[in-house]
Amino acid sequence: MIRTRSLILALFVLLGAALAFGPATAQTPPADASLASPSHYLANHLAKMRDHLQGIATAVPALPRYFQGVGESFRRLAGDGGGLAIVLGFVVCLAAGGVVEWLFRRATAGARARRRAMAIRHLADRLIQFGVAAVLDLGAVVIFALGAAVALIAQKWPGPIQEAAMALLVALVWLRLANALLVVLLRPAADRELAAFDLEAATARFWQRHLAAFIGWFAFGWALIVAARVLGMPRDGLLLFAYLMGIGLVVIALLIIWRRKPDQPDMATPTDGETTRAATGRYAGRGLASLAAIVFWLLWAIGAMPTFWFLTAAVGLPLAIGAARRGARHLLRPVPQADGTPGAPAVIAVFVEQGLRAALIVGAIWILLWGWNLDVGSLAAQDDALTRLVRGGLHALIILLVADLAWSLLKALADNTLARAKVTAGVDADEARKRARIRTLLPIGRNIAAIVLLVMAGLMALAALGVEIGPLIASAGVVGVAVGFGCQTVVRDIISGMFYMLDDAFRVGEYIQSGNYKGVVESFSLRSVKLRHQRGALYTIPFGALGAVQNMSRDWVIVKDVIGITYDSDVDKAKKLIKQIGLELAKDPDLGPNIMQPLKMQGIEQFGEYAINIRMKMMTKPGEQFVIRRRANAMIKKAFDENGIHFAFPTVQLAGGGDTNNVAAAAAAQQALKPATPAA
């Protein structure tokens, strides 16, 4: 599933290009096949653009007359002295909506106070607060719209005037809804913890004001155009008026592009070479953005709508996906725990992020179809090669979106499970073993799921594009058999690894030994295991070469030692001392929890040539026996010395016929035992 996002966007661009130049002309095929050539298509569009521009040019000198006609139509419909009454009636409608909104805010004041007082300890708390704030703020605007609409419907105005007033009210509601939504998402004034974007307060205020201005200009421009249309303005005048209003949108866009945000450095005062390069890059980026805004307006003005909608979707889609991803990740970020450690990422964050991306891509396709006046039903009824390719591209895009969403959810679930499966202090042995098994099996299962999902999505996408996958599957089977014969060792390693996992022979973090290899299991792949030796060496061993495995970290360990004491020592006393040492070790706060059966003496093992060999035994948790045994040996040595019990060791006694000979022999033996003195 690598680079899935780039693949989906590339498929979307190709699909948009195919829709732009294919089915749009295929809906009404000409009788002569020669007329369907690209040159005829281009000439036809150029002729339409020329006629469009000529109509706009003729409307320029007549625009004042058109506005005068709109005014006369309004006065005629309003009657004598009715214009002021209509304006006052519209103000009364807005006042009615404001009163209803005030009552709603008064009734929900307690809910707002409780929301602000709620502490955020979990992600659910933040989502609840965000949802309550959104419902209350957006709900207030909806209540205002309902109250004003009811008051407006009650007015006895002529139909065109009432339609124009309704358009103005809708524009006002659009502006207020957009502003409320921006406040909910950006939180420029307060509640920065609930903001959907990680922005400074001044930057959030900048974007909230400028985006609200852009949306408000667009909404009221649309309302004025609707009002002019219902009051009798001709189509050419409406188009010219709309293009003039569009210049205002371009101006607002240029202000957004070129005004310095509070969190950005001033481009006019670079301080060093790196800052100069950064300023140059910002200038270039803003210049391209400004050019794009002007080009969009020009495409709209000359009537090149297929290209306009295609570029709108192609440019706006990556920006919208990036903004949605940033907002989802920040709003759904994990809440730090009580000790300050970061929490685990939530699966809902991945679901929301991927779901928003899929929804934006589907929405962009819908915008293209709507903007090009394409009928999905007519596309499905056609059966030419390009139409089949477009339908297949749509199906393949949906398949890839679903597969990408499924993989993201599986990966998020696996990562969260692995994060929770880390061994921490205070976890009992059973839970630690369970977590170790999860850390062992889950990465392998995740890799297998990725491969299966990738193959299935690829085959389904190819089938949707019209490719016969039956021969591909058959060929893959033949190739698989050939690869199986040629790579028997690899296949054996993979199958052996599967059986090792099923048998639960070892887990991540356990110490194992197989032949000449031993160490701590660090990780797995499909065909090998990595062992970290205690001296630092890392072994990568194929499963097929692993053979019998000795697991030294499972359940418990029996430690047995034999020590020799002299024949004149008190064996019973030694037994009591060893038992007492075992009880003391079991009570030790550090070592005691790791001792399953305390140290005790099992009895006399054998009578040696110079010592009585006694046997000791204890049971500990795996991996802890070395520390406990070293501590026990030190305590035994000290206790035996204090109680007159001596450890046996070999001695040499010499005997002879006379004292002189004995002394001479002893001196010779002592001299022989001394190391040779090196020559000066």
pLDDT along the chain (680 residues), means of 10: 51 52 44 50 71 79 88 83 82 93 92 82 83 90 94 88 92 94 85 81 88 93 92 88 90 86 56 62 84 88 81 84 86 72 67 82 80 64 63 75 79 76 63 69 77 82 75 68 66 78 78 85 81 87 84 81 86 88 87 84 84 88 83 89 84 59 57 49
End-to-end CA distance of the chain: give it in Å, rounded.
Answer: 77
Domain chopping of the chain, boundaries = 1-27+313-440, 468-551, 557-642
CB 122 within 8 A of CB 335: yes
CB neighbour list of residue 301: distance below 8 Å, 6 or more residues apart: 56, 243, 246
Burial class from Cβ neighbours inside 10 Å (0-12, 13-18, 19+) for residue 574 reads: buried
Note whether 460 and 530 are within 8 A (CB): no
Question: At CB < 8 A and 24+ separation, what contacts does 1-6 make?
Answer: 1/403, 1/404, 1/407, 1/450, 1/453, 1/454, 4/400, 4/403, 4/404, 4/407, 5/321, 5/357, 5/404
Name the pTM for this structure: 0.63
Cα–Cα separations (whole angstroms), residue 166 to 78, 157, 159, 171, 352: 16, 11, 10, 9, 36
Tell me 261's DSSP state.
P
Output the CA–CA distances (angstroms, integers) from residue 390 to 104, 137, 459, 463, 570, in the order listed: 50, 42, 18, 13, 96
Residue 613 pairs in a beta bridge with: 564, 606
- Pick the closest to residue 184 from 216, 136, 217 (CA basis): 136
Inter-residue contact 512 to 518 (CB < 8 Å): yes
Q: How many residues does the chain have?
A: 680
Pairing mode of beta strands 538-542, 528-532: antiparallel
Query: With b meaning 16 or more CB within 10 Å and e meaning fewer, what string describes 576-606?
Result: ebbeebbebbbeeeebeebbbebbbbeeeee
Instruction: Yes or no: say if 56 and 300 are a contact pair by the CB < 8 Å rule.
Output: no
The span from the CA of 232 to the CA of 351, in Å, is 50
Residue 499's pLDDT is what? 79
**CA–CA separation, 455 and 472 (whole Å):** 12
| The predicted structure's pLDDT at residue 406 | 81
Percent of the chain as helix, strand, coil, to the nearest 5: 70, 10, 25
Please state which CATH class domain 557-642 belongs to. alpha beta
The pLDDT score that the predictor gives to residue 25 is: 41
- Spell out the CATH class of 468-551: mainly beta
Torsion angle, CA of 48/54/55/56, rounded to 10 degrees?
A: 110
